[in-house]
Amino acid sequence: MGNCRTFFITTLAFEVIICWFLANAGAVKQLPIQFLAEPEDVIVTKNSQFTWNCNASAINHVTIEWRKKGIMDAFTDDTERRVFVTRHGALHFNKIRADKDEGIYYCLAKDQYGSIRSRFAKLQVSRMSKEFDVVPSGNVTLYRGGQLHLTCKIKAVPLAQIWWLRNKKNLSESEDKRIIVNRLSGNLLIKNMKLRDSGRYRCVALHQDRKKFSPDVSVSVHKLDKTALPIILYSPRNVTAFANDYLVLTVAANMPVYVQWSFSNIAGHQKQPPINYRPIPLEGQNQHYIRNIRTDHNGMWTCTVIAIHNHKSVKCPPTYLEVISPPQISCHIRHFTFKLGTTGTIKIINLTSIVRPVGGVLSYECKVNGQPRPKIVWLHNGNPIHYNYQSSRHQISRHTGSDNRNDEVVSFRMNQIEDNDKGYYQIGAVMEDWSSFSIPFILTVEEHPVPNPPQNLRSIKVTAYAVTLAWDASISNLNPEIYYTIDFWPIDDPTLIYSKTTSRSEESVLIDKDLKPWREYVFVIKAWNFRTASRPSNKLIVRTAEDAPTAPPRTVKLMLISRSFIVKWERVDPLYENGQIVNYIISCTEIGTGNKEIYRAPSYSKDYKITDITPNSKYLVKIAAATSVGVGPFSRPLEIKTSLEHIRDKFAPLDMQILYINASTITFTWEIGNRSKRYLIGYQLDYRPYGLAKYKKTLRLSSNALNYSLVGLQSSTEYDISISGIYKTANESGYGPSAERIISTTLGNVSISTPNKIKKLYTNVIESKSLTVAWQRPMIADTITLTRYLLSYRPITRNINSSLMIINVEKNANSTIIHNLNPYTSYEIWVSYFVYSKYSGELSSQPTKSITVKTKQDVPESAPIIDVVEELSPGIMSVAWNAPKLANGIITMYKIRYRTQSDLDWKIETTKRNRITLKHITPAKFFECTIAAATTVGMGPSSAIKIILNETDVSSFNSSQTYPATTVNSKTVTRNVVLQSPLTIVGIICAGICTMILLAIAILYTIRRYNVNAQVKEVSSKGSAENSKKQNNVTPMPSAKFQEQNSNSKNTTQQSIGNGSLIKETQYNEGKRTNEKETKSALKRKDSMSNLSITIHQNNLSS
């Protein structure tokens, strides 16, 4: 009885201990609500009935409520209504109406602790619009071999099926592999169009037994025009794709083409397509396949369409790809644990319930991914919480995850927990059509005291990489502290939070990790007990001490200027400056002598000029940044070679003179020596009002300019003008000496208005190297006089600073001829004129609106450059070349002349490509060819002759040599060199040895055959003698043997006709009539004897 009582007391005590532990551990072992069935997206027909299920399980009773997004009122269980909630929690529609019932719905599951929300579900009513959204319009014309792409779209729920008709007949993909019909998107693609594909096309949309036909579109296919530019008939524009799916980019053109794609990300940086972008031709060269789409494929895709026959290219409009990734979310709670005798630790755990005291803090994190960036919804009992507003207890911060840049970490924090905060909490990631909610957890609020925060947080010692903190513990806590946590983060990056934990016995801590020099950090400290943490202490901002930089200056460059050079750089990365930069240290070492000089540049400078250098020497230059603590690492040494002489001492100054001057214009000219023109690359013009250096302006002029007009000047103002040449020699480039400065004063105020510009400018005659420009004479008042015209023109090239040419035309002319133009080049031309008045001097009119003229084509001035000449196989040569540099037009044809040693005359082939394959080439000692290019005007010069030598006396060419076309005679091309080659001599000796070996084999074969024939005759003669002997005897014998002997006797008699002996011909005839069978058997034995002799002969021959 005592044992039972003891056991009962022990069990009861154990249960009490367990209950106390669970209560103090902060975990409530009660499960939250879990959905068993959530609503899903549906498509229903109009006026039909539909029931949406929603079911949840929990320990206690669960109530289901339904909500429609945008409407806060809940649906009731009134069955007399058209839409109501059943007693099982399902939402029932008696009669579906599209105008009222379509939308996004969700359900709420409620119990005694709170409620949770289901995911969103969309309800749509089946329908199809009356008209097509996108249909092909107009007529489509394309060439044979092009691609036809037609689009047909119509709004329908669900999507309508699309197929196409040609001339009222269905287009079948199974009958013609060139046809691809996407029945969902409504796109039709026909590759490699043929003439028979012309006709009238229309699309058909099928939706629940309803058909709709689009208008017809006429398609015509013509023969290929090899001079035409490709025209893009279709290219994708705004494309939407899902992550982890695939995408086909289709481009259609009016002729055979191939497509090249490039990719730039959202920031606009041009780069190659992503690594899993694999352009794979799908039965053609105009479709490209992207596998396993990722979110970093977002951006702009551009393509270039290149014609196959003439390589002309056209750029496609940009394709903007948007990748959609449905949202996903997973959450966990930050839970603090502590063991007696150790410091506290932070654990990330997944709890379904948590207990917090009044005034405590709840924090947890969620990983969210989705594209585009989803909206975060914080739900309490199914209702959204408003967060991040001023003085809010609920705060959310978002930053990119460390493991995956596509993941986003969202931190949730609820401060000063109140009693009404208990219930269910969910985090949702919501997009327009998708949503994802985390597993709900329940919060239970208990009445427990919260520790007071520590006081007087301060720094005791600060170094570059460590900070020692101290604080005063609060003595008014009813529940004393157990440990402290110190949180700190850089003041310029609040998302980068670090933590350190220490016990209550310590009132100071050394933080020597995660700190960087010369950076401001924010420190806060919290006190913890068994239950929760105190409020954070006041913030302490501490800047760490300085240190020497840990990185050199960036982008170091050297620039040579005459007898000096300039060192340029960019500041050190701010993360590695480690303090305030006081100066830059520049080390300059002369390579030949080893002399080293150190220069110091101020902290604000970004360049430094080094002048005391030796001409024609090499230097190694490197630079480092320095703080008050020390000097950082030097940059990578750069090498520079100084010039041999000063460029200012090499060229003479310009001779400048004033031509015209008025109130707002100064026109001047200059002269340059012939020696200086060879190295001239431009001019630099400087002008400013005299004595006002800050208003100085600098212009860069073309090397072809010989005069210039400064317009828009102030009247009655003195101007300082200077000009210098810009030269480039083999060793250096720089500015030459300036011309003698001109100080000139503009005239007084202008008393007349600026002349009107010329209204009409046109061209009369356009040639390849000249054109005639004419204009309409301006209307001028009697008080002013026309002095001259100024014609300006320049070529339109990619170089923005193209040369500007100016021609002065007499006042009586209204046209001029421009010479020395480049063939097949576009020029921009404009004209202005000058008038003179005794009141204001010379004035310039505004230039006319420029016109663009393109000169005609001409014959090429240069020849093609042969690149590769190789032998593909015996008798087949491949020749490739580059187009002439001075083509002077569009190359329409290449003419190839070639011949071998055995050819007396040149053979001629023509092609439009820059490669040709020559067949039926006769093997010879050498092969030579030359190429000329032609435009529509005529044929240009021929290239240098390319000669391929054959040194092995076989049908291959293995060495090449190029000779000028004017110095090579094909009848005497290096034949002696081929005959004197060592390989040729070795080949002749080997051929002689092989001939002797074959002759010896033939002699041995003849002797062996003679011996075998002699043996066969000897055996035959012995058999004949024995048969004759037996026939002379009177002994009778069978008829077969008699026949055999007579046969052998006959053979022997025939072999010895020269001896004149015959053996009983009458007995032979009698035996022949007696038995045919014996005769056949004798003949068989004879055949076997012949076969034996042949076998012996073959064995002897093989041996």
143-194 pLDDT tens trace: 998 989 888 888 888 888 888 899 988 888 888 888 888 766 788 888 889 9
Six-digit token pair at 29? 């072992």
pLDDT score, position 372: 83
pLDDT score, position 778: 86
pLDDT score, position 1014: 64
Q: How many CB atoms lie within 10 A of CB 28?
A: 18
Question: Of the spans 393-397, 891-895, 1030-1034, which averages the highest pLDDT?
Answer: 891-895
pLDDT score, position 1031: 46
Give the pLDDT band of residue 1084 (cuts 50, 70, 90): low
- Amino acid identity for residue 2 in this structure: G
The mean per-residue pLDDT over the stretch 401-421 comes to 76
CA 898 – CA 1006 distance, rounded (Å): 50
Tell me: pLDDT of 122 over 60: yes
Tell me: pLDDT of 752 over 70: no
Give the pLDDT band of residue 1017 (cuts 50, 70, 90): low
Give the pLDDT band of residue 337 (cuts 50, 70, 90): very low
Contact 695/689 with Cβ under 8 angstroms?
A: yes
Please write the tens of the pLDDT for every residue from 656-711: 888 878 777 888 888 887 777 878 888 888 898 887 877 888 888 888 888 888 88
User: How would you classify residue 318: left for phi > 0, otherwise alpha for psi between -120 and 50, otherwise beta?
Assistant: beta
pLDDT score, position 780: 79
The mean per-residue pLDDT over the stretch 529-547 comes to 86
The mean per-residue pLDDT over the stretch 237-253 comes to 85
Query: 106: buried, middle or exposed (CB in 10 Å: 19+, 13-18, 0-12)?
Result: buried
The mean per-residue pLDDT over the stretch 29-51 comes to 83
Cα 307 to Cα 78, 131, 260: the distances in Å are: 70, 37, 11
pLDDT score, position 1051: 42
Strand 139-143 vs strand 217-222: parallel, antiparallel, or unpaired?
A: parallel
DSSP line for 968-1009: --GGGSSHHHHHT-HHHHHHHHHHHHHHHHHHHHHHHHHHHH
Least-confidence region, from 50-64, 280-294, 974-988: 974-988
pLDDT score, position 422: 86
Six-digit token pair at 865? 């450059």
Strand 319-337 vs strand 238-242: parallel, antiparallel, or unpaired?
A: parallel
Tell me: pLDDT of 274 over 70: no
pLDDT score, position 1033: 43
Contact 414/441 with Cβ under 8 angstroms?
A: no
Q: Which residues pair with 414 in a beta bridge?
A: 362, 394
pLDDT score, position 388: 65
The mean per-residue pLDDT over the stretch 403-409 comes to 70
The mean per-residue pLDDT over the stretch 812-820 comes to 89
Of the chain, the percentage scoring pLDDT greater than 70 comes to: 75
pLDDT score, position 488: 92
Give the pLDDT band of residue 199 (cuts 50, 70, 90): very high
Six-digit token pair at 279? 């352009």
pLDDT score, position 622: 95
Give the pLDDT band of residue 283 (cuts 50, 70, 90): very low
Mean pLDDT of the chain: 77
pLDDT score, position 1093: 43
Contact 32/440 with Cβ under 8 angstroms?
A: yes
Least-confidence region, from 43-52, 192-201, 724-733: 724-733
Tell me: pLDDT of 1004 over 90: no
Q: Which of 376, 374, 349 is nearest to 363 (CA)?
A: 349
Least-confidence region, from 548-562, 868-882, 1060-1074: 1060-1074
Tell me: pLDDT of 608 over 60: yes
Least-confidence region, from 585-599, 679-693, 930-944, 967-981: 967-981
The mean per-residue pLDDT over the stretch 282-303 comes to 72
| More confident site: 199 or 278 | 199
pLDDT score, position 466: 94
Give the pLDDT band of residue 113 (cuts 50, 70, 90): confident
Give the pLDDT band of residue 464 (cuts 50, 70, 90): very high
Least-confidence region, from 601-605, 780-784, 1067-1071: 1067-1071
pLDDT score, position 229: 87
Q: Which of 86, 198, 188 is nearest to 140 (CA)?
A: 198
Contact 535/568 with Cβ under 8 angstroms?
A: no
Six-digit token pair at 786? 């026309």
The mean per-residue pLDDT over the stretch 269-287 comes to 46
What is the torsional sign of CA 195, 200, 205, 211? negative
CA 897 – CA 931 distance, rounded (Å): 6
Tell me: pLDDT of 478 over 70: no
Least-confidence region, from 168-172, 598-602, 1086-1090: 1086-1090
Please write the tens of the pLDDT for every residue from 52-86: 999 998 877 888 999 888 776 677 766 668 889 98
The mean per-residue pLDDT over the stretch 1073-1097 comes to 49
Q: Which residues of 908-923 are buried (b: 16+ CB within 10 A; e: fewer)?
A: ebeeeebebebeebeb
Q: How many CB atoms lie within 10 A of CB 89?
A: 20
